Copies of this chain bind each other. A is one copy, B any other.
Amino acid sequence: MSTREETLHEHVEFWLEELAADRPALAEWFDGLSETDIAFTLESLPLEERLAVWQAVPPALRGAVLVELHDEHRRSLLKAAPPDSLLQWLGRTDPEDLLELMDDLPVQLGRRALRRLDQEEREQLQAALGYDDDQIGRWLSFKVITAEAETPGRVFRKALRETGVPEMTDVIVLVDDNSRYRGCLSLDTAMKVPTQQPLSQFIDAEINPLNPALSLHEGAQAIRNSGWSMLPVVDENGTVLGRFTASDALDVITEEQERQISQLTGGGLEEEDLFSPVRRAVPKRSVWLGINLLTALLAAWVIGQFEGALSQWVALAVLMPVVASMGGIAGSQTLSLAIRGLATGQLGSANVRSLIRKELLVGAINAVLWAIVIGIVASLWYDSFVLMGVIAFAILVNLVAASLAGVAVPWVLSRMKIDPALAGSVILTTVTDVVGFFAFLGTASLVLAFIG
């Protein structure tokens, strides 16, 4: 844990103690804390205490703090605020922050806040609001340095001293006299353009603008691959809408990461807040528990087909979870590779067959190895050579099937435009459970019929 996190945790501890002792929350608590710090500590507080502390946040900071909060936290605090005081904070919020909050504001209030902006800002915001939640056009920032393409180097540099250079600026955008996009050059180059020569002669064809319809993921990757702090966002008509920065890319990737942790640990269909209200958490999780019940009942049904064998031979009941669980792990290992390959785009139709071949080979070698080990353990435990053969065969079948399913399940899901990280794991374990129980109990039934 970093020093910053430790310090913030001391705040949380202090606030919890104060509130527990029934002392009111005070505006002074926030002295020296940035918006990010305040957002972080609010998110660390249980629901009731969070509302109490939020009432004490100085109104001038509230807009900026709201922007830093995760969606769910933000909504819960917005809901608790009376509309009039909301409008008052929003008046002190800058247009980019307002753009971020817009979706979570009551519609009427959003419109009123828009009307308070000057015309240029309002037009920028309205253009951005025309894009989807998942498109970079929706999350623009507006601090782009644009220059008329024919501006001479010296004039440009003089103007730069007056307008200034916003943070994350290493690219300058050139427009023609109709304000249409002409091209980019680096700040570095722009600083060195000879006094009398126009900037347009130094356009860098390798700096490409982003299309506002790009997904957030693609936008973040484009920034990462470009090596620049920012790229301009330009629509089909050549209008420079704004910019997308490395800071935006960091936010996008961090949020993707948080979403993936939730999804992969089976945490539920949606992101959830550490202290989200019980009445929201229960139904969200119930959905996932319900889906799991259906798959578990399917596995139970398969087991139920072999009640005869189970009642004759109790060792089958004892060992069957071992067969299913080894298949589940082997499958997850392959699934993990395939999901990552699909996410980075490195796994595609050109190489999916090569991956299946490799995974089947790795799976088969491990299958033989663990079939032998588990066969020996089982034969020692129950002193039965027949059981050894049956379980070894079942492990072999299930581990090979798991390797195949580990590539096939995410591949088919991604062709169906379903995120394999979300549903892949549930489907895969269902496959390995069903195959495992079927192979183990089915073989045992055949053997019993043959012997008996």
Residues of chain A whose beta carbon lies under 8 Å from any beta carbon of chain B: 1-2, 4-5, 8-9, 12-13, 16, 34, 36, 40, 43-46, 157, 160-161, 164-170, 186-188, 191-192, 214-215, 218, 220-225, 227-229, 246-247, 249-251, 253-254, 256-258, 260-262, 264-268, 272, 274-275, 278, 281-282, 285-286, 288-289, 292-293, 295-297, 299-300, 303-304, 307, 310-311, 314, 316-322, 324-326, 329-330, 332-333, 335-337, 339-341, 343-351, 354-355, 358, 361-362, 365-366, 369-370, 373-374, 377, 421, 425, 433
Contact = CB atoms under 8 A, between A and B. Distances in A.
Which of A8, A157, A260, A267 has the most CB atoms of chain B within a 10 A radius of its CB? A267
B366 A285 contact: yes
Contacts of A265: 264, 332-333, 335-336, 339, 425
Given A8-B345, A296-B321, A433-B321, A250 B253 contact: yes
Given A12-B348, A224-B247, A282-B362, 16 more contacts: A12-B351, A16-B350, A40-B345, A157-B161, A164-B192, A167-B170, A170-B170, A257-B260, A261-B336, A265-B425, A274-B346, A278-B365, A286-B369, A300-B322, A307-B314, A310-B317
Contacts of A346: 40, 43-44, 274
3 smallest CB-CB distances across A and B, nearest first, come from A267-B336, A265-B336, A5-B345
Contacts of A335: 265, 267
A184 to B, nearest CB: 12
Contacts of A286: 366, 369-370
Contact of A296 (B5, B40, B326): B326
A168 B170 contact: yes
Contacts of A318: 300, 303-304, 307, 310
Contacts of A247: 224, 227, 246
A321 B322 contact: no
The DSSP consensus for interface residues of chain A is helix
Nearest to A317: B317
Contact of A246 (B215, B229, B333, B365): B229
A239 to B, nearest CB: 21
A2 B266 contact: no
B227 A374 contact: no
B293 A326 contact: yes
